[in-house]
Homo-oligomer: A and B are copies of this chain.
């Protein structure tokens, strides 16, 4: 693991320390270099490995010798810098392909295929545009097969996970008007990462509700990319995120017009066909509502729906833990696919 001092990093440490098939070989952090994991994250203090394993400085050349899989839990921009040497070694024929490592990146650096879109939304040139073609978008509900063989997996953001899974079967089955999709999300404060800024102080967030990032949040780049691929045409959505005083969770509400030619839409059938076999999708139907407290600490996404006969729209609602299904749990789910482990290994 490279860069483990953020909230997603801490959660990934938790999952990897408990994973039956994983041996955590090295963990890096400039800030905590030299300190045992258990000192930095006291809630792991009883785990032997957490007491013996120390944070080190990130040396990609060493890491490729130590590990088969390298997780990057770094800020965007920086992740691509670290991915390069790891992947180049892997691709180098003279190394026999064995010196390299497969990479699971939790940042935004390899989610968007188009370097121009990346620059538009992230405000700087992509640091490794030549690698963009190699990455697989790490959403198993869409790209399960491609993830198995991937060298570089780009784990989706938390908002995109909560939006794409519910929308995929609706887009695929042409159930909705693709040009009239409106999404509202509520996010817990860890969604902002462990940013030491006034906006995220306790007394600024507690007893507060606020929208932000309207109308062009960065995650729109990957959301619209994936929706457009699914639809086979350019899709643009409305997206309004809000910050809410809970530690964890994303609650997403999607409203869309039912497509003009659709009659007797059976959402239960549609979602069960799409996700009845998915290990981490729970379908709540049209009588219950998702609640983030039911998914916190788990890798599940809960999905419920309603048809509004007054407006001929459907409302689909989802809940995930932004740190698990929205980040580190999904990364482990990808790891399981890449390594041929049971898909839910270490996640139940």
Q: Which residues on A are within 8 Å of B, measured CB to CB? A: 7, 18, 42-43, 45-46, 180, 182, 184, 186, 188-190, 194-198, 200-212, 214-216, 236-238, 240, 242, 244-249, 251, 253, 255, 280, 282, 284, 288-298, 300, 302, 306-308, 310-311, 313, 315, 317, 319, 348
CB-based contact A46/B182 at 8 Å: no
CB-based contact A186/B203 at 8 Å: no
* Cβ 8 A contact of A211, one of B238, B290, B307: B290
Contact A293:B251 (CB < 8 A) given known A184-B240, A214-B317: no
Q: Which 8 A-B pairs have the closest CB atoms?
A: A215-B308, A202-B205, A210-B291, A209-B251, A184-B184, A43-B294, A208-B293, A189-B202
A205: B residues at CB distance < 8 A: 202
CB-based contact A214/B42 at 8 Å: no
Q: Which residue of the partner chain B has the closest CB to A224?
A: B310
CB-based contact B207/A196 at 8 Å: no
In the bound complex, how far is the Cα of B211 from the Cα of A105, in angstroms?
32
A42: B residues at CB distance < 8 A: 284, 288, 291, 294, 302
A253: B residues at CB distance < 8 A: 184, 211, 214, 240, 242
Q: Which residue of the partner chain B has the closest CB to A295?
A: B43
CB-based contact A202/B245 at 8 Å: yes
CB-based contact A215/B291 at 8 Å: no
CB-based contact A210/B292 at 8 Å: yes
Contact A296:B214 (CB < 8 A) given known A200-B201, A244-B186, A311-B238: no
Ordered by A's residue number, 9 sampled pairs between the chains whose C-beta atoms are within 8 Å are: A184-B240, A186-B244, A208-B292, A210-B251, A210-B289, A210-B291, A238-B315, A240-B315, A297-B297
A182: B residues at CB distance < 8 A: 182, 255
Q: How far is the CB of A32 from chain B (nearest CB, A)?
A: 12
Contact A246:B208 (CB < 8 A) given known A189-B203, A197-B196, A253-B240: yes
Contact A293:B202 (CB < 8 A) given known A216-B310, A242-B251: no
Q: Which residue of the partner chain B has the closest CB to A279?
A: B46
CB-based contact B207/A207 at 8 Å: yes
A7: B residues at CB distance < 8 A: 203
A295: B residues at CB distance < 8 A: 43
CB-based contact B240/A300 at 8 Å: no
A197: B residues at CB distance < 8 A: 196
Q: Which residue of the partner chain B has the closest CB to A39?
A: B288
* Cβ 8 A contact of A43, one of B196, B215, B236, B293: B293
In the bound complex, how far is the Cα of B243 from the Cα of A293, in angstroms?
12
Q: Which residue of the partner chain B has the closest CB to A313?
A: B238
